[in-house]
Structure 1
C-alpha cells in the first residue's frame, strides 16, 4: 500500500468523523427551535432530522463537489500533490476535533468555518501566505457579524408583527384565521425559493431568475388560497384561546424545521466529503482538479455519519439553542425558523458567506429581545460568541500541528 492509498483510506475515517460531528452540532440549526417550543420532542427531532439529513445528503447532495472547500486556498501554488493530500486529511481531523469539542460542551459552532479554518492552517504552512484567498477570509469574518444580526432583526420584526396583529388583539382568534393563510403562503414561498437557489438539485434545474420567482410565487399563492379554505381546521377550537393560535404556528414550525433538515443534509455534507473527494482524486490521478466526481458510496457514508451524529449527540446543542438562550413558544419558534432561513437565502444570493449556525442563534436572540433584554441569557450567548471567534484560529492551529507531524513522518 503506497502513501496515496493509505491516506485515501484514512480520509474515509476522517470524513466519517467530520460528518458525525457535523450532524451532532448542526442539527440545532433545524430542530432546536421546534424542540424548545415543544412542537416536537427531542426523540422525535433526532429521528426526523436523522432521516431527512441522510435523505438530503444522498439524494439531493451534489455528486460534484469543490475539492478545496470554499476556495480558501489556491492548490496550484502547492506543487506536490502529496502535500495537498496530507493537508486535506489534517484539515478534516482538525475541524472534526474542534466541532466534537464544541458539541461535548453543548455549544453551536459553524462546521463550514471549522473546515475553512483548518484548510487555511495547512495552506499557510504548505504554500505560504500567498496561497490563501484573503478576500474570502475577510468575507467569512464579516459573516460573523452579518448573519446573526440580520437574522436577529428579521426574527424580531416577524415576532413583533405576530404579536401586534394576532396575540395582542382582543379578537385574536379571528386575526389568527386571517393571518395564518398569509404566513402559510409566505413560508412555502421561502421554502420554494430556498430549494431552487440553495440545494444542488434546485440549482441543477437551471431555471432563469424570473422563472424561479414565478414558480415560487405560484406555489406560495396556491398554498395561501388553500390555507384560506382550511384555516378553520388549522385554528381548531376557538374556545382554547391562545393555544389555538400556537397550534397553528406549531404546524408551520414543524414544516420549516423539516425542510431545513433536508436542505442541511444536501448542502452541509460537502463540508465532510469535499476534502475526502480531494484526497480521492489525488490518490487516483495524482493530481488535484478544481472539482471532483464524488462516488455514491462516499455520499452515503457522509449521510450516515450525519445521521449517526444526530442520533448520539444531537440533543446536546439542541438543548442550548432551544432552551438556554431564551424561552420559545411556537409563534417565537416559527419566527426563529423564518428569520434564519430568510437570512441564509438572501445572503447566499448576494454572494455573502454566511453560517446557518450563526443565523439560527441570531434569530433566537432576536425573538428574545422582542420581549426585552431580560428575556435573553447573555451568559450563554457570550460563551457561544467566544467559541465562534475561536473556531478559525483553533482549527487552523490544530491543522498546522497535524500537518507538520504527518509531513515529517511521511515526506521527510
Structure 2
C-alpha cells in the first residue's frame, strides 16, 4: 500500500475514533442535566455538540503531549498507529454497547501503546511519560473531582436547607445549563485534541511534518467537526448509566458535580494533561451523591464502572497489539485489520438495534416524574391486555 494511501486510511480511522469518542462521552457533560430535567435530551446533545466544536479550538497542548511524548515517533509507522486506533474503536463500541462509561482516552492510549510495544519494542514507549501524564492523573483526577463535588454538594444543601423546593429546583436547573455547557466546552478542549495528536503523530511518522510539530489547521478543524457530530448523535446508553444508574441526581447536586468536573478538565487541558473526562465526570457525580443530606450512590454500578476503568487501558492495548502487528506485516494485514474492525462495528450496531435506547427514555418532567410508559395496542388473535414497553 502506498504511503500516502495508508496515511489517508489512518487519518480517516482517527476521525472515526473521534466520532465514537463524541457519542461515547456525551454523557460526561449532559447526563446530570438531562436527569434533572434542566435540559431536554435532544437540546442537551445539540448544545453539547456546538460547545465541543468551539472547545476544540481553544488549545493544542494535549495534542502536543500525544504527538511528541508518549511514543518514539521516529520508530513507528502509520500502520502501527492504524492498529492502535482500531483497538481503541473496538473497545469504545463494546463499552458503549453495554452502557459502561469507560475512558475513550485510555482506550486510545492503550491501543497506541500496545501497537507500538509489539512492533517497535519496549523502549519505543516512553513509560515515564505514560505514568506522569496518564496514570497519575487517571487516579488523582476523579478523586479530586469527587471530593470537590462532595464538598460543593454538601455546602449547597446547607445553604438552601430553608429555601422553597420549587424555587431551588428552578434556580439550580438554570445553573446546570451553564455548568453542563462548561463541561461540554472542556470536553471539546481536552478530547478533540487527542485525535489531533494522533493524526499529527501519523503525519510525523510518514515524514509529512517535522518532529514535535503542532497540529496543522486542517487537522484541528476536522477533529473538531468529527467529535461534534458524534456528540450530536448522543450516546444514550451511557447517558442512562450516568444519569440514572449511579445516583438519583437532584438539581443542586448536579450543578455541583458539573461545576467541579469542568474546573478539573479545563485546568488539565491548560497544563497539557490528556485527562479522561469520563473519569472526572463520573467521579464528580459520585461525589455529588455522597455530599447530599442523605447520601445516595449505587456502589454496585460504581464498582463495575471502576473495574471497566482498570481494564480499559490493558484491554485496548491487547487489541491494539494484535491489530498493530497485523497492520505492520503488510497490505494484507492492514486490509485484514480494517475488515475485522468493520465487522465488529457492524455486529455491535445490529445488536444495539434489538434493544435501542431512545432520547425519550432519558426525559424527566419538570415535576420530577418519569415519562409515561409506552403502551402497545392489543394485537388481534392474542391476549388483549396492553403491554408496557
Pair 128,352 (structure 1): closer, same or farther in 2 beyond 3 Å: same
Q: Corresponding residue for 2:26?
A: 27
C-alpha distance in 2, partners of 1:339/1:64?
20
C-alpha distance in 1, partners of 2:210/2:322?
23
Superposed CA offset, 1:125-182 (max 9, x none): 2332222222233333333321222111111111111111222x3xx3xxxxxxxxxx
- Per-residue deviation at 1:289? 1.3
Pair 394,70 (structure 1): closer, same or farther in 2 beyond 3 Å: farther
Q: Corresponding residue for 1:74?
A: 72
Unaligned runs of 5+ in 1: 173-240
Q: Corresponding residue for 1:253?
A: 176
C-alpha distance in 2, partners of 1:282/1:359?
32
C-alpha distance in 1, partners of 2:332/2:131?
33
Q: Corresponding residue for 1:290?
A: 212
Question: SS at 2:160's partner residue?
Answer: helix
Match of 1:118 among 111, 123, 128: 111
Higher helix share: 1
Q: Corresponding residue for 2:283?
A: 362
Pair 373,98 (structure 1): closer, same or farther in 2 beyond 3 Å: farther
Pair 113,336 (structure 1): closer, same or farther in 2 beyond 3 Å: same
Superposed CA offset, 1:195-223 (max 9, x none): xxxxxxxxxxxxxxxxxxxxxxxxxxxxx
Match of 2:143 among 136, 144, 149: 149
* 1:138 to 2:131 alignment: yes
Question: SS at 2:128's partner residue?
Answer: helix
- Per-residue deviation at 1:115? 1.5
Superposed CA offset, 1:253-276 (max 9, x none): 101211221232233112223222
The answer to whether the Cα contact below 8 Å between 1:109 and 1:357 also exists between their aligned partners in 2 is yes
Matches within 5 A, 1:5-404: 5-57=4-56, 59-60=57-58, 62=60, 65-66=63-64, 68-69=66-67, 71-76=69-74, 78=75, 83-139=76-132, 140-167=134-161, 169=162, 172=163, 241-283=164-206, 285=208, 289-296=211-218, 298-345=219-266, 354-371=275-292, 375-404=296-325
Unaligned runs of 5+ in 2: 334-389
Q: Corresponding residue for 1:213?
A: none
The answer to whether the Cα contact below 8 Å between 2:45 and 2:234 also exists between their aligned partners in 1 is no
C-alpha distance in 1, partners of 2:247/2:189?
29
Pair 84,67 (structure 1): closer, same or farther in 2 beyond 3 Å: farther
C-alpha distance in 2, partners of 1:28/1:97?
19
C-alpha distance in 1, partners of 2:63/2:128?
22
Ranked by relative contact order (alpha carbons within 8 Å, sequence separation 6 or more), the top structure is 1
The answer to whether the Cα contact below 8 Å between 2:52 and 2:224 also exists between their aligned partners in 1 is yes
Question: SS at 2:140's partner residue?
Answer: helix
C-alpha distance in 1, partners of 2:192/2:11?
13
Question: SS at 1:75's partner residue?
Answer: coil
Q: Corresponding residue for 1:216?
A: none
What CA RMSD, in Å, does the superposition of the two structures yield over aligned residues? 2.6
Between 1:28-37 and 1:366-375, the stretch displaced more is: 366-375
- Per-residue deviation at 1:392? 0.8
TM-score (norm 1): 0.73
